[in-house]
Amino acid sequence: MKAHSSRVGVFVRIRPTAHFSQDLIECLPDGQTVNIHHRKDSRKPEDSRKSQLSSWSFRLAGILQDVSQEELYARVCRRVVLGALDGYNGTLMCFGQTGAGKTYTMTGSTESYKQRGIIPRALQEVFQEMDKRTEYTFSVHLSYLEIYNETLVDLLSSLQGSPQLSPRGMVVVEEPSRGVFIRGLSLHPVHSEEEALNLLFEGEMNRIIGSHALNRSSSRSHCIFTVHIESHSRTLSVAKYVTSKLNLVDLAGSERLGKTWSEGQMFKEAMYINKSLSFLEQAILALADRRRDHVPFRQSKLTHALKDSLGGNCNTVLVANIYGEAAQIEETLSTLRFASRMMCVRTNPAVNEHMDPAAQIKKLQKDLHMLKEELSFYNTLVNRPRIMYEPLSEAQLAEIHSQVQRYLKGNLEEISIISIRQVQAVFAQFKLAVQEQEQKVKAQLCQTFNLMEKDQRANTAAIKEWDTRDSTEDVEALRSSSTKASTKMSRDKQSQSKRQGEGSPVSKKRLESASKSKLNSVQTPEREQESQEPETESQDSQESQPPGNEPFNPDSTPSKAEAFEDFKVGRGSKINRILKENKAVLLERCSLLRQLTEEVNAVKREIDCITATIQQHETRGGQGQYMVMEGMPVLQEPDGTSLMQLRELKALYRQRYEVLRGVKAEVNYCQHLVDQCRVRLLSEFENWYKKSFLVPEEELDITIDRTLEQGEDNQRLLPDSSESFYNARYRMLKRRTALSFTPVQRNSSARSGQRRLPPILPVS
Ligand code: ADP
Ligand code: MG
C-alpha cells in the first residue's frame, strides 16, 4: 500500500480570542505561514530603547484559526484515522502551553456534541468505516495511558476485567513481534462507537479524579488514548492480517519553568514535564537528522511509549496549540519552534502485515487439495491413467523395484513414466542397484585382497630381507612366513644356518657383479621384458625345469615358498632377473652415495677447520694480542696459502656436492625401479599361484579348452593371455605325463580328488 505522507503533518491552531495580537502574530493568506514579530523587553530601563523587534517565519502544513472542531478533524485527522484502518500506525499529538486548547482539540468540550474533539470523532469514524468495509472483519481494543511525573497510570484500570497491576507497575516493553507496548496496561475490546465513548469518558473521569486526589491540574500529565485495530480480509488470504495503533496524545503544558512554579510539587511537576518534552524534542531532532542512526527514545517514558508512533512507518500529525494574545507570545514562539522542528521529521508509513501460521497451513492445505483436483480433472481430459499424487505405497514401491530389476537384466524393454513420484522412485531403485553392485564387487575384492594382502605381507617381508641376503635366504623366509607358527622357529634356525653357510659368498658375488653394472643399464621392467622377450623365453624354458629333474607329481601342492622359488626360476624369471639387476645397481649406487657423502663431509670439515683458524686469527689480530704458550705462538698469522687452500677446498666441495646430488637422484630412481619390479614379481607370482593351485579343475579345464582352441601362436601375441597359454601347456603336459604315471601315483591322485593342481611351469 502507498504511504500517505512522507513528512509529519504539523498544524497550528490558534485559540480564539477577542484580543488577537495581529501585530505580533501574522497569518499569511497561504494558510500555511505564520510570522511572529516579537520585541524582546529589556529588564533594565536604560536599555529599553535598545530593544529590537525580531521576526520569525514558520511555514507549516496549515494554520487553523477560527476553525471548527469538525473542520479541524477533516483537515488534520481523517486521513490518519482512515490510514489506521488500512493498517498504518497513526499518531495525533497536541502540543502547547497550558490553556492553549490541547484538551479541547483532542477530547473537546464535554458539554456540546458539536464541540467534541478528535478522539470522539475518530472513534465515530472508525466504527462507521468498519461498517462500510464489509470485506474485512475488524477488532478494536482501547487503552488509555497517563504519564505523570514519569509514572505510568492506566486510566481504564477501574473497569472490570482489567489486569491486576504487577508489583513493579507498568513498563514500556519492546518485542520484535509486537513492537512497543506497555506491559500491564489494560486493553479493552469495543464493538461499537458507544462502547468506545464510554471508555473514553471513563478514562477522562479517572483522569480528573486522579488529578483531584493528587491535588494537581490535569494538564500536568501526558495522556495517550490508543485505538488498537486488527483487520482480516474476508476475501483474500486468511493467513494475512493487518494491525495498527492510533495514538491520540494530549501532551502536558509545554510552558517553561516560571517563578510561580519554583516551589514544592509544582516545581517537581514542571521539572518532569520540561524534561520529558525536551526529550521528546531531542528524539524529534534525531528523527529529523537522517545521518543519525540512534534516536534516544528511552530517555523518558513518553518517548519510549511513542517510539513506534513518532516517525518511521507511522502517519504522524502534530497540532501546535497557541494563544492569540500578545502576553503569551514567548510561549507561542517556543511552541512554533517545536512545531517547525517536527516538520523536519520524515516518515515512511508502512502497513503492519502479519501472518497467522495456523491459518496459513489451512490455506495451503486447501490450495493443495484444489490443485490435486485440478490435475485429476486435466488427466481425465487427456486420457491419462489415474495418477496417485499421494506417497507411493509399499506394494507400488515393490512393483517399481521389480520393474527396475527386470529392466537391468534385460527382461523389460522400458519403464513407462507415469508420475513424478514414480520417476523419483525408479531413480532411487537404480541408485540402490548400483550401490548393491558396488558392495558385491567390494566384498569380492576384499576377499581376494585380504588373501593377497596376507600373503603379500609375508612375501614382502621375505623380499625385504632378500635385499641384504641371498635369494636362498629369501625363499627360506618366504617359506617360514607361509608355514604355521609351530614350525616357524625351527625353520628360522635352518635359515640362519643356511645364511651363515651359503649366504655370504653369493652375496659377495652379487655385489661384485652389481658394482660392475652402470646406472644407464637400469631398465624399467616393461622395457626389459619387451626387448628381451625371445631370449627370456629360451631362458625360461631352460630354467623352468624342476630342480634335479624331479618327476612331476600332480598330486602334491607345493608350499607358497617353494612355489615362489619355482616361479622365480620359471615363469617369473624375467622379472626376477630384472629385479636382481636393478637391485645390484641400487646397491652399487648406494655404496657410491655413502662414499661420496663421506668425502663431501671430510672436505666440509677441512673447510670449517681452516675457516675457524682464519677467523680466530682475525679476532686476535683485531685485539692486538698474540697468545704464546711455551714460547710458541698458538696462532699463526694466516698467509696466502691458507686462503688459497680454503678456496680450493670450497671449489672441491661444490664439485663433489654436485656429484653427490646426481648420485642421490640416481639412488632414488633405482629404488623406485626396484620397488616396481618387486611389486610386479609378487603380483605375477600371486596370479600364477592362484591360477595354478587354487582354481578348481573344472574351471581350469574350461579355460584350458578355450585356450587350446585358439592356438599357441595367437596366445603369444596377446600379453594378457599368457596365463591361458601356460594353462594350455599344463593341460598338454598333464595329458602327456598321465600316461607315464605309475599305478600308485594314479591311485593317490584319485584319492585326493585332485581339487588342487600342481604348479604350472612353462616348458619348451
Ligand atoms: P489545555 O489542554 O491546552 O491546557 P484546554 O483545552 O483545556 O487547554 O483549553 C482551555 C480552555 O480553552 C477550555 O475551556 C477550552 O474550552 C477553551 N478552548 C481552547 N481552545 C478552544 C477553541 N479552539 N475553541 C473554543 N474554546 C477553546
Ligand atoms: Mg489539557
**Ligand located closest to 17 CA:** 1
Q: What is the pLDDT of residue 473?
A: 41
User: Using CA positions, which residue lies closest to atom 12 of ligand 1?
Assistant: 101
Q: Does any domain span residue 544?
A: no
Q: Are residues 208 and 347 in the same domain?
A: yes
Q: What is the pLDDT of residue 332?
A: 94
Q: Does any domain span residue 219?
A: yes
Residue 57 CA to residue 34 CA, distance in Å, equals 6
- Residue 152 in grid coordinates: 505510568
Q: Are residues 244 and 387 in the same domain?
A: no
User: Using CA positions, which residue lies closest to atom 16 of ligand 1?
Assistant: 104
Among 354, 348, 259, smallest CA distance to 312 is for 348
State which ligand 1 atom lies nearest to the alpha carbon of 321.
3
- Residues touching ligand 1 (Cβ under 6 Å) are 15-16, 96, 98-104, 109, 219, 253, 321
CA angle, 584 then 587 then 588, to 5°: 85
* 496-530 residue pLDDT tens: 444 444 443 334 444 344 334 333 334 444 433 43
Q: Which range marks the domain in which residue 19 is found? A: 6-40+52-160+170-355
Last residue of a domain, one of 692, 710, 734: 692
Q: Are residues 217 and 297 in the same domain?
A: yes
Q: How far is the CA of 249 from the centre of ligand 2 (A)?
A: 11
State which ligand 1 atom lies nearest to the alpha carbon of 219.
4
Residue 109 CA to residue 204 CA, distance in Å, equals 12
Q: What is the pLDDT of residue 428?
A: 92
Mutate which of 65, 71, 104 for ligand 1 pocket (most atoms within 8 A of beta carbon): 104
Chain centroid, CA 561 distance in Å: 57
Q: How far is the CA of 195 from the centre of ligand 2 (A)?
A: 23
Q: Does any domain span residue 754?
A: no
Run of H or E including 11: strand 9-14
Q: How far is the CA of 16 from the centre of ligand 1 (A)?
A: 9
**Ligand located closest to 117 CA:** 1
Q: Are residues 226 and 374 in the same domain?
A: no
Question: By the 8 A CB rule, do 224 and 249 touch?
Answer: yes
Q: What is the pLDDT of residue 635?
A: 43
Q: What is the DSSP letter of 17?
A: -
Question: By the 8 A CB rule, do 330 and 221 touch?
Answer: no
Q: Does any domain span residue 134?
A: yes
Q: Are residues 331 and 297 in the same domain?
A: yes
Q: Are residues 333 and 381 in the same domain?
A: no
298: CATH: 3.40.850.10
Whole-model pTM: value is: 0.53
Q: Are residues 137 and 113 in the same domain?
A: yes
Domain total in the chain:
3
Low-confidence ranges of the chain (pLDDT < 70): 1-6, 41-51, 161-168, 212-218, 237-238, 257-265, 386-388, 449-557, 619-639, 695-764
Residues within the annotated binding site? Answer: 96-103
**Ligand located closest to 118 CA:** 1
Last residue of a domain, one of 355, 375, 391: 355
Q: What is the pLDDT of residue 215?
A: 59
Q: What is the pLDDT of residue 763?
A: 33
Q: How far is the CA of 116 from the centre of ligand 2 (A)?
A: 14
Q: Does any domain span residue 341?
A: yes
User: Using CA positions, which residue lies closest to atom 23 of ligand 1?
Assistant: 15
Q: Are residues 341 and 365 in the same domain?
A: no
Q: How far is the CA of 605 from the centre of ligand 2 (A)?
A: 106
State which ligand 1 atom lies nearest to the alpha carbon of 67.
23
Q: Are residues 299 and 380 in the same domain?
A: no
Q: What is the pLDDT of residue 521?
A: 38
Q: Are residues 347 and 371 in the same domain?
A: no
Q: Does any domain span residue 735?
A: no
Q: Are residues 94 and 20 in the same domain?
A: yes
Mutate which of 13, 14, 15, 76 for ligand 1 pocket (most atoms within 8 A of beta carbon): 15
Last residue of a domain, one of 301, 328, 355: 355
Q: Does any domain span residue 64?
A: yes
Q: How far is the CA of 297 from the centre of ligand 1 (A)?
A: 29
Q: Are residues 350 and 364 in the same domain?
A: no
Q: Does any domain span residue 306?
A: yes
* 175-220 residue pLDDT tens: 877 788 899 899 999 999 999 999 999 998 888 877 766 656 667 8
A 10 A CB-CB count for 656 gives 18
